[in-house]
Amino acid sequence: MARLVGCVNTSHVPAIGKAIASGLQQEPYWKPFFDGFPPIRAWLDEVRPDVAVVVYNDHGLNFFLDKMPTFALGAAPQYRNADEGWGIPTLAPFAGEPELSWHLIDCLIDCEFDLTTCQEMLVDHAFTLPMKLLWPDGQAPATVPLCINTVQFPLPGARRVWALGEALGRAIRSWDSDARVVVIGSGGLSHQLDGQRAGFINKDFDQRFLRSLVEDPTWATRYSIRDLVELTGSQGVELLMWLAARATLGERVRLVHRNYHIPISNTAAATLALAVD
């Protein structure tokens, strides 16, 4: 059966893509963020995942407000990136793993998660940036994208997303394959891009949330979406991706590395890697 090796969660601010393209990783503004990655890449070199299941939220590139699935899973042989208007270079397509996609779809629908299945799917910065940060030289593993709506209300709640993550973890482990699989969660942490609270960041909440993922991983499921928007900003709800990714791993995890830096653009930028030994 497939082996789930751990998860890597990270923020996905578009400006990261520009910084990479311009080689600014060692500039004072960017260094504290990029310095979070070498220890995680060293761990990935050890565990050598064959597939990355990428849990992220689309921002209007593939799904727009007229049609917004709550949960959507990619089942394509490859996933194309396209220009979102942020000025980030468009990346080459990412390889899919349709056999795992269809296994996950079968398992998750059997567990009553009524996914939208996508045999064509454009992937935006929330998918491409973690891939580029974790595999900067383009040696990325095959991918399966799982999209969770955090754009068009109503959003799925934290408890539901946790349950989805648990079911996803069981489904990955039951795949009849020798593959090693890593789960990536892309989003957050606290940020708000518009409205009266634009620029809002809640360091205390973020730190508590980061600790909880190791010590008490269901801690954040006590909060409603309204609470999460209040506590973390209207885009801070992207932390749901982190919850789903963490929930795949089960109870016992080992902290590989964590990093927290305020701000990048408007976002409290964080990175957290957890291993299942």
Catalytically active residues are 125, 191
Binding window for ligand DHB (CB under 6 A); candidates: 26-34, 93-101, 109-117, 259-267:
259-267
Binding window for ligand DHB (CB under 6 A); candidates: 9-17, 147-155, 196-204, 210-218:
9-17
Beta pairing partners, 146: 55, 73
Query: Would you count residue 132 as binding ligand DHB (CB under 6 A)?
Result: no
The alpha carbon torsion through 204, 205, 211, 212 (nearest 10 deg) reads 150
CB of 205 to ligand DHB, least distance (A): 16
> And the tokens for 200?
């809002």
Residue 12 or 246: which CB sits closer to ligand DHB?
12
The binding track of 192-231 with respect to ligand DHB, each residue x by CB under 6 A or -, is -x--------------------------------------
CB of 238 to ligand DHB, least distance (A): 6
**Inter-residue contact 71 to 148 (CB < 8 Å):** yes
**Strand intervals (E) in the chain:** 3-10, 51-56, 71-74, 78-81, 94-95, 116-118, 122-123, 142-148, 180-186, 254-264, 267-275
CA triple 213-35-162, angle to 5 deg: 20
Query: Would you count residue 261 as binding ligand DHB (CB under 6 A)?
Result: no
Q: Is 162 helix (H, G, I), strand (E, B) or coil?
A: helix
Using CB under 6 A as the binding criterion, the count of chain residues that bind ligand DHB stands at 11
Query: Would you count residue 265 as binding ligand DHB (CB under 6 A)?
Result: yes
Q: Which residue has the tokens 């921002």?
A: 59
CB of 124 to ligand DHB, least distance (A): 8
Q: Which stretches of the chain bind ligand DHB, using CB under 6 A?
A: 12-14, 59, 191, 193, 235, 238, 265-267
